[in-house]
Every structure is written in C-alpha cells, then in structure tokens.
Structure 1
Amino acid sequence: MSRLKGRVTLATVAGSAGVSIATVSKVLNGRSDVSPATRARVQEVLEKHGYVGRRPEPAQRDTVELFYQGVLNAYSVEVIQGVIEAGQTAGVDVVLTSHPRHRPAFGPGGVPGRTARWIRQLVANGRRAAIGITSELSAADLAALARARLPLVVIDPGNIPEPDVTSVGSTNFAGGMAATQHLLSLGHRRIAYVGGPPTSTCNQARMSGYRSAMESVGAEVPPEYIWLSDFLYDDGVAGGTKLLDLQDRPTAIFAGSDEVALGILEAARARGLRVPEDLSLVGFDDTEVARLASPPLTTVRQPLREMGAVALRTALQLAAGEPVVSHHVELATSLIVRGSAARHGLSSIAAS
C-alpha cells in the first residue's frame, strides 16, 4: 500500500480502504457497528498514512481563582500545592494571583472601585469560585463577592471571618498549647512567644494556647516575653535578638512559624548559644524547612496540603450550590518532636 500524497482527509482514507466516509468516521469514534475485518482495514490505512484528523476544540474547564497576600514562603507553597493537587484530581484549573502584604487584595487601599473591577474580571474569565490564603477581607469586599454570587473560601483568614464566610484552618489554640506544654514538660518555665501580626486570627489562637498552658502551671509571662511582628525569617531574627539580649532571657521559645524559628536559631548562633543545649525551640507548621534545620526542628504540624485540598473541594461544593457541613473547618494539629528542644539545665549538666 503506497503512502497517499498531499493532505490526508477522511475522503482519501475512505477511498484507499474502499469504504464510505461514514464508516471511517465510525472507526475513528469507536463505534461498534463496523465489522472486525472492515475496522482492521480502515485502521491499517489510518496508521499507514498517519492520519490525525482535526484537533478537537478543547473542552471548557472550570477555573478557580487562588489569591495570596504577602511573599511566598514555605507555608504558602505547601497550601498552594494542596489546592493545585486537589484541582488536578477534580479536573479544575487553578489560577494563582498574589497581592502585597499590608495592602487589601481588593477595593480598599486607595484605589476606588478596585473591588468591583477585580470581581467583574473574575466573572468575565469564568471563575467558578475564589480561594484566599491568609487574606484580610473587608465588609465591602465580601458584599461585592456576594452580589456577584462568586463563592469564597478563606484559608487561615487574617482577620476574624464573618459568620457566613467559609474558612479552613487548623486547631491553632490546641497547637499552641501542645507546643508550650512540651516545653513545660522538659522543665522550662521561662518560655517566650515570638509570633505573627497581633490582629491575625491564627496568631491570636496560638498565643492564647501558649498563655493557657503557662497559666495552668502558674508560670509567669512577662510582657517582654511576647514579640509579635510577622511569620517570616527576619521577624524571627529580630524577635530572637530582643529576647536573647534580655538580662533574664528565656530558656525556651515557642515560635509562631517554622520560618520564625529559623530566624531565632540564627539569633542564638550569633550570640554563641546552642540549640537545644542553651535554648530550646519549638516551631509551628512542619514545613520542609523544619526537617532541614540544624538541629531538626520540633514543631507543631499543620496539615497544610490537606487544608488547601479541603478549601478547593469546599469551593466547588459552594459553586455547585451544594450544602457544606460547616462554614468553619479546623483540621487537627499534632506535635512533631525532633531535636531542637531539650530538658532544662542540659547545658549546665553537660558542662559539669
């Protein structure tokens, strides 16, 4: 069988195989009403001449907007990965946009009408829903999204969410308590906390867990033992520097994130202090940096990827008009013990 010259069409394949165009179409579409012998002959011609046909129009896929405030870090990468993986499983595209920290993602922030324009663009682009990570949303933002009937799910909201705003987080209070109780069980009483923004919902919960654990054993929390800024490395360096330069410095620090803990590690090293011999340290998140730290970081694990996956699935439920079990979902945290915390007095014992 010689190779057909020029552009191979259904008609030329049909002529070469001695069948009708309709029969070739049936073979291409996997129809069962074609005899095995005829099917084999047509397929031979198709393969011989490399027929590929017209590329079908791509099916319209559902798309979800994922927006994040601040710089990407170990925490946000894990959450984003969870959203993307869940989107792949559900056959949904995820579009990521980023907005600067300390500037609202939407209309406020000195740009009149920005909220309305942003939401109109999302609707025009066919977004089924929106998911925000650590985002602060005003009442105007929420009202504009509601008017557009664009479902919203917020992961670790930066401010206390409205009752009807769906959010996904973790048991931050229980995690803060578990971290502090671990340090208390090691004999520490001078325990400090270095956390994120004072108005952050998850930071408030972690700090409350810390205070509750300290109060349960009658341990004092001097005002200078609380340092709040953000959840980033540089904030850990600044907070660690302040605390470790105190005359009555803490023997242990609970950090509100793994990145903050790494900054405290650097502040300790700069002062010749060893972790955990001279300073015990517990982080929060259990990101990759916790496992790569030296020493590996004892930390509170948040199921970050699962938080992202739950947010994606919940957003799709809302978009489909399906009821959700709860507007506020908290996934369980757990303490992961590694090498950055030790029994109080280890340094003096080792030196004796």
Structure 2
Amino acid sequence: MSSPRRITLARVAEEAGVSVSTASRALRGRGDLSADVRTRVLHAAAALGYTSAGESRGRPRDPTAGVIDLVFGNFHDPYTDEVVAGARTTAAALRYDLVLTTDRPDAEDDWPHRIRTRGTAGVIVGLVMPTAAQVALMREAGIPLVLLDPPSEAPAALTSIRTTDRAGGVSAAEHLLARGAERFIVIGGTPSYRFGRARVDGFISAVRTDLPEAQVVRVDADWSAIGAAAACARALRELNGAGPIGLFACNDEMAAGAYRAIADAGLAVPREVLVVGFDDVRGARWLHPPLTTIRQPIREMGAAAVRTLVRAIEGADIAGEAIELPTALVVRGSTAPGAPGDPASSHP
C-alpha cells in the first residue's frame, strides 16, 4: 500500500495560486501581502490539512507570555478610556501587560499579523467584528480571542462580553412614562449596530405596551452630538399635539446634541422635554441639567473581558460564551421631579 501523499508548502502554494515564498509569508503572518492573498493561502492550507511542524505559529509555546492585546478602531474617547481603565487594572492584577492596538484600514497592516509577531497571549477586540480570515489567523496561531460589545451578532464559536442593551431601552421608556411623558422622540445610531438596535427596540416596545396610541418619532444620527442635534430638530418639527415630550438617545453624546436642538427650538430640559441618554460616560453629569442616563458598566466590561480571556489562556473552553453585564438607570436633572406631568410636580 502506498502511504498518503505528504502535504507540502509547495502544494499549498499551488492550490492557492501563489509562489512558495508567498505562501510561506502568508502562513507566518508577515504584513507585506494583501488580505486576499493571505485568505487564499489560509483557506488552501486548512482545506489540505497542512501543518508545519516546528514552525512558529505566532504565539510562543511558553505559557508565561504575559501580553494581552486590546484592539479598537480608535482610542481616547470616553467609551474606550473607560474600557482601557478597567482592562488595564485587571490585567495588571493578573500579571499581564495590556497593549493598545489600532484596527487600521490598511489591509497590508492588519492587526492579526502585527499581533502574531510579538508573543501575544490573547486578544480582546472591542466594537469591531473580526473577519473570518482574521479569526482563522488567531485560531491558527493558538491565540484566544474575546469580543467586547461586538457591533453585530457574533458567530456561535466566538466569546463576547456585552451589556443588557434592550433592557436598558426598556428602563429608559418606563422612566419617561413614569415622569409623565406623552409624546416621544428616539434617536438611534447609524450605522445601525447590534447594541443600538436593541436599545431602540426595547424603548419602543415598552412605550407601545404602556401607551399604545402615543406618538413616537424615530430619527437616526451618526452617533455624534452634531448629527443628533440635526436629527432632533427634525423630530421636534414632526411631533404633533401637546404634552410633555420624552426623548431617548442611544448614547450620551447624542443626548448632548439633543440639548442643543431643544434649546434652539425654544424649549427647555426638563420643563418641556425630558431626556434620557445611554452609557453614563463622565461628561453626562456635567451637562446642564445633568443627564439622566442608562449606565452601561463599561469599565467592568473591560475587566470582565480580561478575566474571561485569561481563563482561555489558561486552558478553559470558553467557546460561544455570551456574558452580559446589567445596565442601571441613573436619574439626574434632565428628568427631574417637578417637570410638567410628573406626579411630584405639585409638591414644593
């Protein structure tokens, strides 16, 4: 009987339609190839069952490697600052160093290839959904991966840390209804990420359950204060009738933009418009009046992502886990008691 044909690097290169040297660079994670070439080579190697005994696959076999990468599209905004604070403190307590890695738009300098070259023990990817090719590179290198607040539903095999977005939207609606709001504005985010959709769906569902005939005007903005100001101005013009307005914005920055539009329309928060945001970033309490918001435990999410990743680094099977941390309503001046329609408004 003849022995099975040995799968060689040359055969992988032939299958992928590239040279042997190109196939070698692709499998080693070098950064000088296009994403398309890398993907073809990886798919060919996987289909053929190619392994390269003795080659470095990106992560050192030494289990004491103490580096964790935190990947975001950008840093130094209120959300990522909180994530970094939670992740860095927890990583240090577990004797790991945290490296901040940017997801760059240049396919020639993709983050998985940079990560594979520096002895990373594991990766947290925040607000970014990795491609199938990127996941394959991490899996091939033996580098565990955890998603933090993924923008779309994660494949079943990937582990994610998130918050109770829909429940947060429900809480915002219930609070505005309890404060006497009769007409509603919802400012959703565009692009329409998973967490934004869940917040809006929860809010509208709760309003429809409690006050089925209420007018609800849904507008979208680009997750920024400027975009939300313009969207809120349109929504205010669309509202009919009279009565207190309840406004829910899918993040605190958009709520701040709504403040500007409300003032420009000659209205006041909370006298005519009650406002609830989402996130509870530092700036929420410094708005005038301070913003009622749904607190997302951002710092705790960063810490949970590190703890979950370290479990995987130490050999635990975490595949497919979806860990949700609870939101909480934080009441401040933007829905203060005494606003029109509030049961407490008649009290001094």
Scaled by the length of structure 1, the TM-score of the pair is 0.72
Is 2:223–2:251's contact at 8 Å kept on the other side of the alignment?
yes
Question: Paired residue for 1:50?
Answer: none
What displacement does 1:70 show? 4.4
Question: Paired residue for 1:195?
Answer: 188
What displacement does 1:114 show? 5.0
Matched, 1:229 2:226: no
Matched, 1:323 2:323: no
Question: Paired residue for 2:257?
Answer: 263
Question: Paired residue for 2:197?
Answer: 204
CA distance in structure 2 between the aligned counterparts of 1:220 and 1:201, rounded to whole angstroms: 27
Aligned CA distance change for structure 1 residues 153 and 220 (closer, same or farther; 3 Å): farther
CA distance in structure 2 between the aligned counterparts of 1:183 and 1:135, rounded to whole angstroms: 32
SS in 1 for 2:128: coil
Question: Paired residue for 1:89?
Answer: 93
What displacement does 1:220 show? 4.6
CA distance in structure 2 between the aligned counterparts of 1:186 and 1:265, rounded to whole angstroms: 18
Question: Paired residue for 1:239?
Answer: 231
What displacement does 1:218 show? 3.7
Is 2:159–2:318's contact at 8 Å kept on the other side of the alignment?
no
**1:253-284 Cα distance to aligned partner (Å, 9 max, x none):** 10111111111112212222210001110011
Is 1:192–1:221's contact at 8 Å kept on the other side of the alignment?
no
CA distance in structure 2 between the aligned counterparts of 1:145 and 1:82, rounded to whole angstroms: 24
SS in 2 for 1:126: coil
What displacement does 1:68 show? 0.9
Is 1:233–1:260's contact at 8 Å kept on the other side of the alignment?
yes
CA distance in structure 1 between the aligned counterparts of 2:203 and 2:74, rounded to whole angstroms: 26
1:75 pairs, out of 76, 79, 89, with 79
Q: Give the alignment's Cα RMSD to 1 decimal.
A: 2.4
Aligned CA distance change for structure 1 residues 72 and 228 (closer, same or farther; 3 Å): farther
Scaled by the length of structure 2, the TM-score of the pair is 0.73
Is 2:122–2:144's contact at 8 Å kept on the other side of the alignment?
yes
CA distance in structure 2 between the aligned counterparts of 1:215 and 1:198, rounded to whole angstroms: 25
SS in 1 for 2:122: strand
Question: Paired residue for 1:25?
Answer: none
Aligned CA distance change for structure 1 residues 124 and 315 (closer, same or farther; 3 Å): same
1:144 pairs, out of 117, 133, 137, with 137
What displacement does 1:294 show? 1.0
1:180 pairs, out of 173, 178, 194, with 173
**1:14-47 Cα distance to aligned partner (Å, 9 max, x none):** xxxxxxxxxxxxxxxxxxxxxxxxxxxxxxxxxx
For structure 1, the residue ranges without an aligned partner over 5 or more in a row are 1-59, 104-108
Is 1:61–1:91's contact at 8 Å kept on the other side of the alignment?
no
Aligned CA distance change for structure 1 residues 255 and 85 (closer, same or farther; 3 Å): same
Q: 1:117-136 counterparts in 2 under 5 A?
A: 118-136=111-129
Is 2:163–2:326's contact at 8 Å kept on the other side of the alignment?
yes
Matched, 1:162 2:166: no
Number of paired residues?
277
Question: Paired residue for 1:216?
Answer: 209
Is 2:65–2:120's contact at 8 Å kept on the other side of the alignment?
no
Q: 1:26-37 counterparts in 2 under 5 A?
A: none
**What is the identity, as a one-letter code, of the residue corresponding to 1:242?**
R
Aligned CA distance change for structure 1 residues 330 and 194 (closer, same or farther; 3 Å): same
SS in 2 for 1:67: strand
Is 1:159–1:199's contact at 8 Å kept on the other side of the alignment?
no
For structure 2, the residue ranges without an aligned partner over 5 or more in a row are 1-63
What displacement does 1:326 show? 6.6
Q: What is the identity percentage for the equivalent residue pairs of Structure 1 and Structure 2?
A: 33
**What is the identity, as a one-letter code, of the residue corresponding to 1:290?**
A
Aligned CA distance change for structure 1 residues 66 and 296 (closer, same or farther; 3 Å): same
CA distance in structure 2 between the aligned counterparts of 1:68 and 1:221, rounded to whole angstroms: 39
Is 2:186–2:247's contact at 8 Å kept on the other side of the alignment?
yes
CA distance in structure 2 between the aligned counterparts of 1:93 and 1:178, rounded to whole angstroms: 37
